[in-house]
Chain A
Amino acid sequence: MIWHRSGAAHGRMTCMQVARVLQACLDGEADEVTARRVASHVEDCRRCGLETAVYREIKDSLARQEVPDEIVLVRLRDFGSALLMSSGPPEACDEAAGLGGGK
Chain B
Amino acid sequence: MPWNAPIGPGGFQSVGETVAQPPEVRDRAFSEFVLPEVEVLLRVAMTLTAQPADAEDLVQDTLLRAYRAVDRFDGEHPRAWLLTIMRRAEINRHRRRRPHLLDDPDTDLDRLTSIGTVASPEEVVVGEGFDEVVGAALAALPDQHRQVVRLVDIGGLTYGEAAEVLDVPVGTVMSRLHRARKRIRTQLAAAGLAPKPKRSRM
The CA of A75 and the CA of B152, in the complex, are separated in Å by 24
Question: B170 to chain A: which residues have CB within 8 Å?
Answer: 2
Given A22-B202, A84-B30, A76:B67 Cβ within 8 A: no
The CA of A54 and the CA of B191, in the complex, are separated in Å by 14
- Contact yes or no, A102 B23, CB < 8 A: yes
Within 8 A of B (CB), among A47-94: 47, 50-51, 54-55, 57-59, 61-66, 68-69, 72-73, 75-77, 79-81, 83-84, 87-89, 91-92, 94
Question: B59 to chain A: which residues have CB within 8 Å?
Answer: 76
Question: A84 to chain B: which residues have CB within 8 Å?
Answer: 27, 30-31
The CA of A66 and the CA of B47, in the complex, are separated in Å by 9
Interface residues on chain A, number (Cβ under 8 Å): 49
Q: Does B106 sit within 8 A of A, measured CB to CB?
A: no
Show 30 A/B contacts (Cβ-Cβ < 8 Å), sorted by A.
Answer: A19-B201, A19-B202, A20-B202, A22-B202, A23-B178, A23-B181, A27-B152, A54-B195, A62-B154, A63-B153, A63-B156, A65-B134, A65-B135, A66-B46, A68-B43, A68-B46, A72-B42, A73-B42, A76-B42, A76-B59, A79-B60, A80-B35, A83-B67, A84-B30, A88-B68, A91-B64, A95-B15, A95-B16, A95-B68, A98-B18
Q: Which residues of A contact B (CB under 8 A)?
A: 2, 15-16, 19-20, 22-24, 27-29, 47, 50-51, 54-55, 57-59, 61-66, 68-69, 72-73, 75-77, 79-81, 83-84, 87-89, 91-92, 94-96, 98-99, 102-103
Q: Which residues of B contact A (CB under 8 A)?
A: 15-19, 22-24, 26-27, 30-31, 34-35, 38-39, 41-43, 46, 52, 55-56, 59-60, 63-64, 67-68, 130-131, 134-135, 138, 149-150, 152-154, 156, 158-159, 170, 174, 177-178, 181, 184-185, 188, 194-195, 198, 200-202
